[in-house]
Structure 1
Amino acid sequence: MRVNGIGLDSSARFTFQSHAHTDHFVSGKIIFATKATKFLSHLRKGGFYREVEFGKTFYIGDFKARLYPAGHMLGSAGIKLWLENGTLFYTGDTKWFKLRTAEKSRFPRADFLIIEATFGVPSFTFPTPREAEKKLIAFIEEAFDRGRRPVLYVNQMGKAQEVMKILDVHGITVKPSREILKVARVYSKFGIRFGNVERDGEVVLRSYRSPKVENSLSPWELTVSGFGRLKLSNHADFWELVRIVEKVKPEKVFTVYGFANEFAGILRGLGHDSEPITPDAQVNI
């Protein structure tokens, strides 16, 4: 989308890219992003990135701006803009609870809020990351007890490294795919290291498989996703999203992605001025 001509995870002359997942890739004369997002994005695409540190004031086009950690994956960020008629905060993909391999999210006060709604209905209520971690380890230990080698299907960027780190903490070795390992090497440049990678690791990590085929998986295969059997999600669930809105205290909320229509309606029921927008929307404030 564009706000006052500035791209937010959308191509424009001056644009902001919140993180390095391909569905948020953008093009522009200058792409503003964190250093980690730049390095991770360059695994798959080119483009001129201007690195911005969290908390440092800079200008994007004619507007003052500042990045805040989004908690979704390494380097993910939200952006606060100072516009003509007030301040705006765009969350990008975000997470309230702290993950092991992402910076702890922060949510500044703003007059306007654009918030993702990937899981913006009450049916999406996830365990905390630590609770999900316990379930993951229990699944793996049961497989070991039965003489099985677990296979985990994960998003190769972000979720895979989170799972690798969890297993590293618990002393479990992994055999990741080549693409997963390539991303992990970038993570290591930013201080997130993995000491559990082995050619014949105890747990196999493969790139994400659609939850639509969950029923075809063996008992020792598991999709790790907010949509999968083990809900270790790097997105905020419904209640996390509500907490973020309450933290930012906006006068107006725009919801985008996923269940944007439903979440906007729920927020209106909670007393917020809210409306859904599409990812290609043009917003003027």
Structure 2
Amino acid sequence: MVNRVMILGSINVDSIYQVTRFPQPGETIAVKQKSYAPGGKGANQAVAAARSGAKVSFVGAVGADNDGQEMVKTLAENNVDTSRIAVDPDNGTGSAVITVDENGQNDIMVYGGANQAMSVAQLNDLEQELAGTDFIVAQLETPQEVTLAAFKLARQQNVITILNPAPATELLPELLEYTDIIIPNETESSLLTGISVNDEPSMLQNAKFFKAHGIKNTIITLGEQGVFYVTADGHHGLVPAFKVNPVDTTAAGDTFIGALSSQLSPNLGNFESAITYAQRASSLAVQGMGAMPSIPLAEEVEKALG
């Protein structure tokens, strides 16, 4: 069965600077290499889901510029339905400046542009598409008010809602009530709950916090430590990471979430196997440069899983 996944999210063009190390405040350093790549958390997650076999549609916005045209074209070439991507005449296509050091670590500066100018009006008639959808996935690079409205429509259609609270910021309380699965990394989870993530008891406390606010399923990504999950019935576990030598970790989380949405059963009965697949996809992505270009195809993931 092919999962039908709707992504509500950001579309960016990434400028990537490779450096030996990050500069100190006020310091000028040399850049070893500069490149451009399609990106944005939403776009990355959509491509990850599509490359792992899901039928993917996208709700988002780009500017009336060349970057916007190229991004829509890139998504379409990756088998993503782009019919609900709006063209904003007043704001430019989103962009990000990404600095990557020799250890594969990165820091990122993002210009929201058309992503942040999205409005609830863009969701007109969305319920018709949601009626044939298994999952809707959103992040925090587009307005929370738009995500909340979409999640409310999804709930009416019994569509599973997945929230990736990145970049971490204060959430609308009502948005939590309409989220079925939350997928933060350990830093984002700690910021949202006020509970440091450092061991299993603290992760269970984080999941308890989210459940108290309406979210029944929690998945916390822990980088090289793996992924911790807690399901609605209280089942929990740690799925270890695959050990690799990372080149660029930019797309790690987005690849994980997109791949997970392609594999997770709509009845949520296969958390561990879906997480294992998504972990393997993420481990392949961090071994290549650039966000979207490094996202693997399903056959590559299956081969790596053996």
Q: TM-score w.r.t. structure 1 length?
A: 0.24
Q: TM-score w.r.t. structure 2 length?
A: 0.22
Structure index of larger Rg = 1
In terms of fraction of residues, the more helix-rich structure is 2
